[in-house]
Each structure stands twice: as structure tokens, then as C-alpha cells.
């Protein structure tokens, strides 16, 4: 009977020249294609996410740009409106001031017509007229010009044989304007053509034509 030596485990036979590790089964190693596939999917997902974020940023940038352009346009309109209102207020203030000075200018004109504009008063009066002109005040109204109810105010009316339309024959008070704005119409005396004068002139013109043509035809 064979006796077993206690304390020693039996080991499988190992071929000569092989290491003990060769006897153990090796774990399966994944191939290169299998390792690269998950990495490629992750990169594609990350790229898609970045593209989506970039599109969102571009959309937000476009919206902010449009808001900025709209605000800029509103600001430009505001500036133009404020400038227009400022000019209008300035013109109204100047017109009100010069309107209050018109009686003074009328007195200066009457004093000049009567030869009373002399000495220091003449110098002050001329300075005042110069300042008014620099502020844009213009005088209008002349004898012989056609009557225009938009700029003339007729205070006297008469007939005259030597006019062919309603005409200003006397300027009682000159008119004044600032630019295109009339602040006082010219107060004038007007004359209209004499009633029947046009008929007489037409008859005279017809008679002159007949005389030049040798008179009426004789039957």
C-alpha cells in the first residue's frame, strides 16, 4: 500500500519550458475596432452638442443685434424730434418777441418820415432795426403790387381807371414776416378797376383794329 506524503498538493503537469502562467486561461482582449467604436460615438455626440450650443448663441446674438439696431433707430428719431421741437420753440419765442417790437418799429418809421429821427435816437433806432433784421425779421409791402389776401389786409377801397386788377395803391402799415411765416399782414389801401372801364377799353381796342384793317366791309 502506497503512502501519501502529507502537506503536498498535486499540481498539474506543466510542459517543459513553459511558465506557470501559461497554464492559466487568458482573458479575452477586445479588438481595436470594438474599442474605437464607443469613442467615435462619444465624439459625435459631443460635436452635435457643441453645434447646437453654437446655433443657440448665434440666434441670441442675432436677436440682440436686432434689438440694438431698433434702439439705435429709436434714439435717432428721438434726437431728430427733439431738435425739431427745439427749433420750433426757438422760432416761436423769436416771433413773439419781434411781434411785441412791431409798434416800436412803426414809431421809428413814422419818426423817419417826419424827419424826427436825429441824434442819439437815430443811432438807437437803427441799432434796433439791425438786431431785428439779424433775428430774421423781414418787411414787405410795396405800392403797385397786386393785392394778395394772404399777406395783405385792405383797410381802404377805391376804384381807379388805370388798374386792371385789385392793386395796392398805398401802404398804410408795412407787413412783417420771419422766413415763410407772416407775423403781421401789410395794411394797405386797394383800388379796383373802374366799373365799365374794361368794356370801354374793349370797344376802343375793337375800333382800333377796324381802323387798321380799313374799316368795316362795304356791301
Where is pLDDT greater, at 158 or 9? 158
118 to each of 17, 68, 111, 126, how far by Cα in Å?
144, 66, 9, 11
Q: In angstroms, rounded to a whole number, what is the distance separating the alpha carbons of residues 45 and 38?
A: 11
- Nearest in space to 105 (alpha carbons), one of 135, 136, 139: 139
Region 33-39: mean pLDDT is 54
State the pLDDT confidence band at 41, using cuts at 50, 70 and 90. confident
- The pTM assigned to this predicted structure is 0.57
129-164 pLDDT, tens digit each: 999 999 999 999 999 999 999 999 999 999 998 889
Amino acid at each position: 500500500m502506497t503512502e501519501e506524503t502529507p502537506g503536498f498538493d498535486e499540481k498539474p503537469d506543466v510542459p517543459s519550458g513553459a511558465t506557470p502562467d501559461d497554464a492559466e486561461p487568458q482573458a479575452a482582449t477586445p479588438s481595436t475596432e470594438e474599442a474605437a467604436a464607443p469613442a467615435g460615438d462619444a465624439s459625435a455626440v459631443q460635436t452635435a452638442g457643441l453645434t447646437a450650443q453654437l446655433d443657440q448663441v448665434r440666434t441670441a446674438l442675432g436677436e440682440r443685434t436686432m434689438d440694438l439696431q431698433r434702439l439705435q433707430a429709436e434714439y435717432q428719431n428721438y434726437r431728430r424730434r427733439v431738435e425739431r421741437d427745439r427749433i420750433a420753440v426757438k422760432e416761436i419765442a423769436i416771433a413773439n418777441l419781434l411781434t411785441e417790437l412791431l409798434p416800436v418799429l412803426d414809431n421809428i418809421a413814422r419818426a423817419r418820415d417826419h424827419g424826427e429821427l436825429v441824434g442819439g435816437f437815430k443811432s438807437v433806432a437803427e441799432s434796433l432795426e439791425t438786431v431785428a433784421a439779424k433775428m430774421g425779421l423781414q418787411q414787405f409791402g410795396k405800392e403797385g403790387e397786386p393785392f394778395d389776401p394772404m399777406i395783405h389786409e385792405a383797410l381802404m377801397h377805391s376804384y381807379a381807371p388805370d388798374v386792371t386788377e385789385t392793386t395796392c395803391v398805398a401802404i398804410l402799415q408795412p407787413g412783417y414776416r420771419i422766413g415763410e411765416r407772416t407775423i403781421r399782414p401789410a395794411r394797405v389801401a386797394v383800388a379796383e378797376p373802374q366799373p365799365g372801364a374794361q368794356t370801354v377799353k374793349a370797344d376802343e381796342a375793337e375800333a382800333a383794329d377796324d381802323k387798321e384793317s380799313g374799316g368795316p366791309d362795304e356791301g
